[in-house]
């Protein structure tokens, strides 16, 4: 057999092995061919493809580069190298290779899409939109490009244009499951929940194993209180994408809302997440800390208009009140859409860093360069978190503030700052982190400047008690509805006022009417409110209520503080999980233990008692704000304890090193 014929046979065999999924065998085949003909560009290119498939990325790049040395006009090789650099988070190198591919083939539409995605990852979405439009000028019938354009429009809040783009992708490719799933996301933002659900269902009909569609459907169901159904779809999503950190974090967050999951199982789920991403160390362990001035870094996606912002502000506002040189404060912002609150937080920090466009490794490198001594997470497994970056251990000491209701699951998270009510000492085994207790409490609330005056109890004029909960429906599951229905029935003529954006949807309202009716509560005893024009109007709604009801197993945090600030007694059930003890923490600090139930029957009994105790309710409306100022809203005392805790962490670290 002649040499050219032998090489052709080897290439054909390697291609057959590759397409059969036998990538290691294909690699051996191509390497045997290179022994015969070491200057064959196609062998090197195919070898790169096989290496890329099995995740040996350095070898893949090397093979592609050797192919390009022999044949410089291989646009696909440049594109593939660019894709690898994207995976590695090296976006400048990726763009350089993608642009080289376009120079060779300016009609290579997939490369334009890849360029657009890198521009999106590096916070240049408007440029990405231009690139996608340029690609569509080459081929208007390319469905994936319409899909990418739709995603870019969605990220910039142009939901109608996003919807149009996704619909165009579906017209071109009616079986495009990904476009259906993305269309559902944009329709949800336009508050068209029923059609969004239909899109997710269509996507799952086309591709039942698609992780994103399962996750998106789970998220929507969770937001309307369908916890069990949501977890079913989240579990499917994690099964089909076991290594996707976002989908798995979403599943963990959803798990917090299930009454059926035990504290031990919840901890194990989080620990399983942590073990999926092996820890590594980026920090310079030999660096000596400056014990006079500590560099503290706070990481959060919530430096913006967000429920947790009212707990973040007291921290930034009260560091170094006596001496600005004791702590140098760095904020690492994962905010994708900045607002006036973002600007306010930026002005309160000594150093502001935007990491929203950085890979985990790039963000970790920045933190190392900033010489951060203690890195503090403020989000846990909530949306847009950067917990995987903590796994790179960019700071010698890492901690999480206990707003999040479980362990992070990370071996590299050293401490959890909490209190004895939320995390009693006998729960330490549920955490990977060492518990550090703040005597003042975990939550320090920044009360709203424009809170309306507290009005007399509405029952004085109405002649009946009005209960309320303004928690998201995420927390109002079927068990909560069943217990609240008992409360309403036990207090004659009482009403229940609920507020959530999704009450704008008729089918959601009807779902809740039907759920309460199944427990014997008529619709005329429910007041379901959707959107309110301003935050002040939202707060004023508390003036229309007599008693606030805390949900379970996820207690309110911001809503409970709002209710207390507006003078309402907040009735809570303190349970066996961290998430069900936040109300206990707030009320214990306010010395209002008579508002804490320890079981369902006691919850109902206490609701009846509070409803009957007119004098107690009137007194709380006149007294609670002053008590809140001292015991929940004293940022100076809270941060002083926080700073003392940081000093103790450093002392332990220095002794052990």
Both tokens assigned to 372: 């951060």
CA distances to 85, 153, 177, 187, 400 from 160, rounded to whole Å, are 33, 8, 20, 9, 38
Q: Which residue has the higher pLDDT, 93 or 320?
A: 93
**Per-residue pLDDT tens over the stretch 269-312:** 999 999 888 787 766 655 656 678 999 999 999 999 998 999 99
pLDDT bucket at 189, cuts 50 / 70 / 90: very high
Please return the burial class of 272, using the count of CB atoms within 10 Å of its CB with bins 0-12, 13-18 and 19+: middle
Q: List the one residue out of 259, 624, 641, 217 whose CA is nearest residue 418.
A: 641
pLDDT at res. 5 = 74
Supply angle C-alpha 327, 330, 331, rounded to 5.
Answer: 140
Runs of H (alpha helix) within 226-352: 227-240, 245-255, 263-276, 309-318, 340-348
**pLDDT above 70 as % of the chain:** 98
Helix or strand or coil: residue 559? helix
Handedness of CA 228, 178, 94, 242 (dihedral sign): positive
d(CA 297, CA 285): 17
Average pLDDT rounded to a whole number, residues 257-271: 96
- Looking up tokens 């003042």 gives 440
pLDDT of residue 613: 97
* Number of Cβ atoms within 10 Å of the Cβ of 42: 19
Q: Interior CA angle at 551 toward 547 and 552, to 5°? A: 145
Tokens standing for residue 607 = 């609701």
CA angle 261, 267, 268 (to 5 degrees): 90
Task: Calculate mean pLDDT across residues 526-541.
Answer: 94
- CA max distance for the chain: 103
Model confidence pLDDT, tens digit, residues 197-222: 999 999 999 999 999 999 999 999 99
Please list, in sequence order, all residues whose beta carbon lies within 8 angstroms of the beta carbon of residue 493, skipping any fewer than 6 positions away: 463, 464, 465
The 10s digit of each residue's pLDDT in 569-615 is 999 999 999 999 999 999 999 999 999 999 999 999 999 999 999 99
Whether residue 325 is predicted with pLDDT greater than 90 in this model: the reply is no
Q: Kindly indicate the confidence band of residue 225, based on its pLDDT and cuts at 50, 70 and 90.
A: very high
pLDDT per position as a tens digit, 459-492: 999 999 999 999 999 999 999 999 999 999 999 9
C-alpha span between 201 and 196 (Å, rounded): 9
Sorted by where each starts, the structural domains of the chain and their CATH numbers stand as 294-437 (3.40.50.11380), 459-632 (3.40.50.2000)
Each residue's pLDDT tens digit, 608-619: 999 999 999 999
**pLDDT value of position 7:** 82
Is the confidence at residue 166, as pLDDT, over 80?
yes
Q: How far apart are CA 410 and CA 252, in angstroms?
A: 13
Task: Report the chain's terminal Cα–Cα distance, integer Å.
Answer: 67
Q: How many other CB atoms are there within 10 angstroms of residue 391's CB atom?
A: 26
Q: What digits encode the pLDDT tens for the residues 37-79?
A: 889 999 999 999 999 999 999 999 999 999 999 999 999 999 9
Torsion of CA 647, 648, 654, 656, to 10 degrees: -160
What does the DSSP 8-state code read for residue 15?
H
- Taking alpha carbons only, the member of 36, 39, 40, 58 closest to residue 48 is 58
Helix 558-565 / helix 614-631 crossing angle, nearest 10 deg: 120
Phi and psi dihedrals of 449, rounded to 5?
A: -65, -35
**371 burial via Cβ count (<10 Å: 0-12, 13-18, 19+):** middle
Strand order in the sheet with 495-499: 526-529, 495-499, 466-469, 547-549, 570-573, 596-597
For residue 300, give the H/E element and its range. strand 294-300
Please tell me the chain's helix, strand, coil percentages from 3-state DSSP, rounded to the nearest 5.
Answer: 60, 10, 35
Which residue, 597, 621, 614, is CA-closest to 542?
Answer: 621
Distance CA 443, CA 401 (A): 9
Q: How large is the average pLDDT for residues 101-107?
A: 97
- Measured distance CA(566)–CA(621) in Å, rounded: 7
Residue holding tokens 């046979």? 9
- Whether residue 1 has pLDDT greater than 60: no
pLDDT score recorded for residue 359: 86
Cα separation, 293 vs 285, whole angstroms = 18
The predicted structure's pLDDT at residue 656: 87
Q: What is the DSSP string of 67-79?
A: HHHH-TT-HHHHH
Task: For the beta carbon of residue 616, count every other beta carbon within 10 angstroms.
Answer: 15
pLDDT of residue 372: 97
Task: Tell whether omega for the bond before 553 is within 30 degrees of 0, i.e. cis.
Answer: yes
**Tokens matching residue 490:** 């036990």
Residues 6+ apart with CB under 8 A from 592: 569
**What's the pLDDT score for residue 286?**
53
Average pLDDT, the chain: 95
Please determine, for residue 533, whether its predicted confidence score (pLDDT) is greater than 90. no
Q: d(Cα 334, Cα 576) in Å, to the nearest integer?
A: 32
In the prediction, which pLDDT does 282 show?
A: 66
Sign of the four-CA dihedral 594, 600, 601, 606? positive
Burial class (CB in 10 A: 0-12, 13-18, 19+), 264: exposed
The C-alpha atoms of residue 279 and residue 412 are separated, in whole angstroms, by 7
Beta-carbon count within 10 A of 39 CB = 11
- Residues 585 and 421 sit within 8 Å (Cβ to Cβ): yes
Is pLDDT at 3 greater than 90 in this prediction? no
Q: Are strands 351-354 and 495-499 parallel, antiparallel or unpaired?
A: unpaired
Distance from C-alpha of 414 to C-alpha of 270, rounded to nearest angstrom: 15
Label residue 532 by pLDDT band (50, 70, 90): confident
Please determine, for residue 324, whether its predicted confidence score (pLDDT) is greater than 70.
no
Which of 95-109, 180-194, 313-327 is predicted least confidently? 313-327
Check residue 337 and give its pLDDT. Answer: 85
């Amino acid at each position: 057999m002649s040499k050219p014929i032998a090489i052709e046979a080897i290439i054909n065999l390697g291609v057959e092995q590759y397409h059969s999924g036998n990538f290691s065998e294909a690699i051996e085949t191509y390497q045997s061919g290179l022994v015969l003909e070491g200057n064959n560009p196609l062998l090197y290119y195919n070898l790169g493809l096989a290496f890329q498939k099995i995740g040996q990325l350095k070898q893949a790049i090397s093979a592609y580069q050797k192919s390009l040395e022999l044949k410089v006009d291989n646009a696909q090789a440049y594109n593939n190298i660019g894709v690898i650099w994207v995976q590695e988070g090296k976006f400048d190198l990726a763009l350089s290779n993608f642009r080289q591919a376009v120079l060779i083939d300016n009609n290579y539409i997939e490369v334009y899409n890849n360029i657009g995605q890198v521009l999106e990852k590096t916070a240049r979405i408007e440029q990405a939109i231009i690139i996608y439009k340029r690609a569509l000028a080459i081929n208007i019938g390319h469905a994936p490009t319409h899909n990418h354009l739709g995603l870019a429009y969605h990220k910039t809040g142009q939901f109608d244009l996003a919807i149009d783009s996704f619909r165009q992708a579906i017209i071109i490719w009616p079986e495009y499951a990904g476009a259906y799933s993305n269309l559902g996301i944009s329709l949800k933002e336009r508050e068209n929940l029923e059609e969004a659900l239909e899109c997710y269902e269509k996507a799952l009909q086309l591709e039942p194993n698609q992780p994103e569609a399962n996750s998106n459907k789970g998220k929507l169901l969770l937001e309307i209180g369908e916890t069990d159904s949501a977890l079913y779809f989240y579990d499917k999503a994690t099964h089909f994408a076991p290594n996707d950190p976002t989908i798995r974090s979403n599943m963990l967050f959803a798990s917090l809302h299930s009454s059926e999951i035990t504290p031990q199982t919840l901890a194990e789920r989080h620990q399983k997440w942590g073990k999926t991403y092996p820890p590594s160390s980026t920090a310079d362990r030999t660096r000596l800390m400056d014990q006079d001035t500590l560099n503290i870094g706070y990481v959060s996606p919530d430096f913006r208009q967000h429920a947790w912002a009212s707990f973040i502000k007291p921290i930034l506002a009260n560091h170094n009140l006596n001496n600005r040189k004791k702590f140098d404060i760095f904020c690492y912002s994962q905010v994708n859409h900045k607002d006036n609150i973002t600007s306010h937080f930026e002005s309160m920090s000594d150093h502001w860093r935007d990491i929203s466009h950085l890979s985990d490794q790039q963000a970790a490198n920045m933190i190392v360069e900033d010489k951060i001594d203690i890195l503090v997470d403020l989000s846990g497994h909530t949306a847009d978190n950067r917990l995987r970056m903590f796994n790179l251990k960019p700071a010698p000491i890492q901690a999480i503030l206990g707003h999040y209701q479980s362990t992070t699951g990370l071996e590299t998270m050293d401490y959890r700052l909490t209190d004895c009510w939320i995390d009693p000492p006998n729960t330490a085994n549920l955490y990977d982190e060492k518990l550090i207790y703040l005597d003042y409490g975990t939550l320090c609330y920044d009360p709203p400047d424009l809170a309306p005056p507290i009005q007399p109890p509405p029952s004085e004029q109405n002649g009946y008690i009005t209960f309320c909960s303004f928690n998201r429906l995420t927390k109002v599951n079927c068990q909560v509805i069943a217990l609240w229905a008992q409360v309403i029935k036990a207090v004659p003529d009482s009403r229940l006022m609920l507020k959530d954006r999704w009450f704008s949807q008729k089918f959601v309202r009807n779902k809740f009417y039907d759920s309460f009716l199944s427990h014997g509560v008529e619709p005329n005893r429910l007041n379901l409110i959707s959107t309110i024009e301003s935050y002040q109007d939202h707060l004023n709604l508390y003036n229309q209520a007599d008693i606030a009801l805390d949900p379970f197993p996820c207690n309110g945090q911001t809503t409970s503080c709002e209710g207390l600030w507006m003078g309402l007694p907040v009735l809570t059930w303190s349970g066996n999980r961290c998430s069900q003890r936040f109300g206990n923490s707030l009320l214990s600090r306010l010395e209002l233990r008579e508002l804490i139930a320890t079981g369902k029957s006691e919850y109902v009994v206490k609701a009846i008692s509070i409803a009957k105790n007119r004098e107690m309710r009137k007194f709380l409306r006149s007294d609670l704000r002053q008590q809140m100022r001292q015991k929940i809203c004293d940022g100076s005392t809270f941060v002083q304890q926080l700073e003392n805790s940081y000093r103790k962490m450093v002392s332990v670290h220095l002794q052990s090193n």
